[in-house]
């Protein structure tokens, strides 16, 4: 039955917006099957009205002649074939975006759930995003400082990179992600200066220019931006003054870079429980970072199908903040394993031929449509850096979700259960961890000239220490050489002093490198084969000038 609220051009076979159908022929899991539909379009949005008057949204997944398969975002409970009507809108799914979304909390469909006022959208954007021309991409070359030594020194993250956290059930990936969110900022080296007044005047001019210029920011965004800038300026002024007599003048410019280049966050959760959601909200509010965060929540009791659109809504918001508002956005997606399970559920409902472990054969392509939205664009000031979090079932890194994710992304950070069981936080195992873009984001002019050499030497010594530890379990400590004992000492101190740090303990990259040198001095110079002699001359001595 067709309710005549619109017209159909029978010759062209196209649907005029407003036509409502009462031709539901079946329901399969999160899917609704419609018959006798004229001209449905792939990915078209439909409005579904139930018999009790409630409305839901869906999206066309498959078209076969006059038959359409629609996935319902809010679930199919209560849908029948007698009273349910379906209206085709002729539009793809779009989400409203605005700078006012910073500091707000939304559900998985992009609707505010923080009891705040409605968002006044500055644009409506397709959640699928626009393809980035590869020739217009800019290679990531600036390091994001997370304050975590194992990441900053040995797996440095570049601005515009996509690098996941590989975790498992019961491990503190949520705490690590929240810590990154609290501490993340850009590292930018400048010329040395002792003129603090010059620094503060530069910040003040920047704030004044932003307030006066109509071209820099949208009108509705100026007031909140200036408030944040003045707050950062005040904090920077106090801290800069305290560093005026410091023997480390690079800290002055490091703080200025933090004031001028704040990192903003789009945080998106899929299938998390209420406890996890409350943890994130409470953490952001207590440490004062909530005004820099946009939070999208899809809880475990929310419709599974909603998890498919939640990361796309979050990334669309991030693209607007990055490419239109010129902000450096860090997108944290948790948990991508729940997203993959939602894909599997839809695939099973469509009766598709399953792939490995029941996941659809197109999951690699689908994941790529999410991960590849990170990056930088030529001529745009902003950037998008992605840190997806996924939990490996049974700690199995060969599971399809982490396996395919590793092929798409530019490295991984591995959270280890053995380190966690030994009460080491954060339990990041550096040996299976990797950052493929690290080499372009570190070194002289970006972090410090010894960064790459120190990282390589730490990796080598830690790997040898692990081998010696395994050999000790077989032959006993008495059979080890004096050199082997040095590696065992390094292994123990590396995990207790370098890997381990408090959840609220932030180390800048220079502090982390100095700590690494403290550990490397356990060995005589002759055993530090991966560090050039010139670098050893400058940094190996305990009173070396940095």
Q: Which of 31-45, 193-207, 510-524 is least confident? A: 193-207
Mean pLDDT of 470-479: 94
Report whether pLDDT(195) > 50. Answer: no
Report whether pLDDT(37) > 50. Answer: yes
Report whether pLDDT(380) > 80. Answer: yes
Q: How far is CA 154 from the centre of its chain?
A: 19
As a whole number of angstroms, the distance between CA 325 and CA 319 comes to 9
- Determine the pLDDT at residue 333: 94
Q: Which residue has the tokens 């699928």?
A: 128
Contact 371, 386 (CB under 8 A): yes
pTM of the model: 0.81
Q: What backbone phi and psi angles, to 5 degrees, belong to 269? A: -120, 145
As a whole number of angstroms, the distance between CA 95 and CA 326 comes to 19
- Determine the pLDDT at residue 266: 75
As a whole number of angstroms, the distance between CA 522 and CA 518 comes to 7
Instruction: Give me 285's structure tokens.
Output: 């509010």
Mean pLDDT of 474-492: 95
As a whole number of angstroms, the distance between CA 385 and CA 285 comes to 22
Instruction: Give me 483's structure tokens.
Output: 């050199």
- Determine the pLDDT at residue 497: 97
Mean pLDDT of 207-230: 40
Contact residues for 51 (Cβ-Cβ < 8 A; gap 6+): 78, 80, 82, 83, 84
Report whether pLDDT(519) > 80. Answer: yes
Of residues 213 and 175, more confidently modeled: 175
pLDDT band at residue 362 using 50, 70 and 90 as cut-offs? very high
pLDDT band at residue 544 using 50, 70 and 90 as cut-offs? low
Alpha carbon distance, N-terminus to C-terminus of the chain: 79
pLDDT band at residue 303 using 50, 70 and 90 as cut-offs? confident
- For helices 363-371 and 336-349, the axis angle rounded to 10 degrees is 140
Class of the domain covering 96-188+261-440: alpha beta
Question: H/E element holding 284?
Answer: helix 274-286
Question: In this prediction, what percent of the chain has a pLDDT beyond 90?
Answer: 65
Of residues 514 and 543, more confidently modeled: 514
As a whole number of angstroms, the distance between CA 350 and CA 62 comes to 9
Mean pLDDT of 397-414: 96
pLDDT digits (tens, 9 = 90+) for 176-187: 999 998 898 887
- Determine the pLDDT at residue 18: 63
Report whether pLDDT(6) > 50. Answer: no
Instruction: Give me 45's structure tokens.
Output: 């949005």
Instruction: Give me 151's structure tokens.
Output: 């990441």
As a whole number of angstroms, the distance between CA 240 and CA 243 comes to 5
Contact 340, 401 (CB under 8 A): yes
Mean pLDDT of 27-50: 91
Beta strands 293-299 and 375-376, pairing class: unpaired
- Determine the pLDDT at residue 163: 96
pLDDT digits (tens, 9 = 90+) for 225-273: 444 444 444 444 434 434 443 433 333 333 333 333 346 767 677 878 8
As a whole number of angstroms, the distance between CA 179 and CA 157 comes to 15
Report whether pLDDT(339) > 90. Answer: yes
Considering the chain, tell me which residue range(s) the CATH 2.40.30.20 domain(s) occupy: 2-91
Cα separation values, 27 from 75, 77, 214, Å: 11, 9, 52
Rounded to a whole number, what is the largest CA-CA distance in the chain? 90
- Determine the pLDDT at residue 74: 86
Q: What is the dihedral of CA 482, 487, 490, 496, to 10 degrees?
A: -120
pLDDT digits (tens, 9 = 90+) for 139-151: 998 999 999 999 9
Contact residues for 212 (Cβ-Cβ < 8 A; gap 6+): none
CATH 2.40.30.20 fits 2-91, yes or no: yes
CB atoms within 10 A of CB 302: 20
Instruction: Give me 427's structure tokens.
Output: 């339990």
Question: In this prediction, what percent of the chain has a pLDDT beyond 70?
Answer: 82
Considering the chain, tell me which residue range(s) the CATH 3.40.50.12240 domain(s) occupy: 96-188+261-440
Report whether pLDDT(218) > 60. Answer: no
pLDDT digits (tens, 9 = 90+) for 416-433: 999 999 999 999 999 999
Mean pLDDT of the chain: 83
């Amino acid at each position: 039955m067709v309710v005549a609220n619109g017209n159909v051009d029978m010759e062209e076979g196209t649907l005029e917006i407003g036509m409502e159908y009462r031709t539901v022929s079946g329901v399969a899991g999160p899917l609704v099957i419609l018959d006798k539909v004229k001209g449905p379009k792939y990915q078209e949005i439909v409005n579904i009205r139930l018999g009790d008057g409630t409305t839901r949204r869906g999206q066309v997944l498959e078209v076969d002649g006059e038959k359409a398969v629609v996935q319902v975002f809010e679930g199919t409970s209560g849908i029948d074939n007698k009273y349910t009507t379906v209206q085709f809108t002729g539009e793809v799914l779009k989400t409203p975006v605005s700078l006012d979304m910073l500091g707000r909390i939304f559900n998985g469909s992009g609707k505010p759930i923080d009891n705040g006022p409605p968002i006044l959208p500055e644009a409506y954007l397709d959640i699928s995003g626009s393809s980035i021309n590869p020739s217009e991409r800019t290679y990531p070359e600036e390091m994001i400082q997370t304050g975590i030594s194992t990441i900053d020194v040995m797996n440095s993250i570049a601005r515009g990179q996509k690098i996941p956290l590989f975790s498992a059930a019961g491990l503190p990936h949520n705490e690590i992600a929240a810590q990154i969110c609290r501490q993340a900022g850009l590292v930018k080296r400048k010329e040395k200066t002792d003129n603090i007044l010059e620094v503060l005047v530069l910040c003040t001019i920047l704030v004044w220019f932003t307030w006066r210029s109509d071209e820099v920011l949208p009108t509705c965004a100026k007031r909140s931006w200036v408030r944040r800038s003045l707050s950062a300026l005040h904090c920077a002024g106090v801290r800069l003054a305290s560093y005026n007599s410091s023997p480390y003048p690079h800290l002055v410019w490091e703080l200025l870079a933090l004031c001028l280049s704040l990192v903003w966050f789009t945080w998106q959760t899929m299938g998390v429980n209420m406890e996890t959601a409350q943890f994130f909200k409470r953490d952001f509010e207590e440490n004062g970072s909530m005004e820099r965060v946009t939070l999208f929540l899809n809880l475990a009791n929310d419709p599974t199908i909603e998890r498919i659109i939640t990361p796309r809504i979050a990334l669309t918001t991030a693209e607007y903040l990055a490419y239109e508002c010129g902000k450096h956005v860090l997108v944290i997606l948790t948990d991508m394993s729940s997203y993959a399970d939602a894909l599997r559920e839809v695939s099973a409902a469509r009766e598709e031929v399953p792939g490995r472990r029941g996941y659809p054969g197109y999951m690699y392509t689908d994941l790529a449509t999410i991960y590849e939205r990170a990056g930088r664009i030529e001529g745009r000031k902003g950037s998008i850096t992605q840190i997806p979090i996924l939990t490996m079932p049974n700690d199995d890194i060969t599971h399809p979700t982490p396996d395919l994710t590793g092929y798409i992304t530019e490295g991984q950070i591995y959270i280890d259960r053995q380190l966690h069981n030994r009460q080491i936080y954060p339990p990041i195992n550096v040996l299976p961890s990797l950052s493929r873009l690290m080499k372009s984001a570190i070194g002289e002019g970006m972090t410090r000239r010894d960064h790459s050499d120190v990282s390589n030497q730490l990796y080598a010594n830690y790997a040898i220490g692990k081998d010696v530890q395994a050999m000790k379990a077989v032959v006993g400590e008495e059979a080890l050489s004096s050199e082997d004992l040095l590696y065992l000492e390094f292994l123990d101190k590396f995990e207790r002093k370098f890997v381990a740090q408090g959840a609220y303990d932030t180390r800048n990259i220079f502090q982390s490198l100095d700590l690494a040198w403290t550990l490397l001095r356990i060995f005589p110079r002759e055993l530090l084969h991966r560090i050039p002699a010139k670098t050893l001359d400058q940094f190996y001595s305990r009173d070396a000038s940095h």
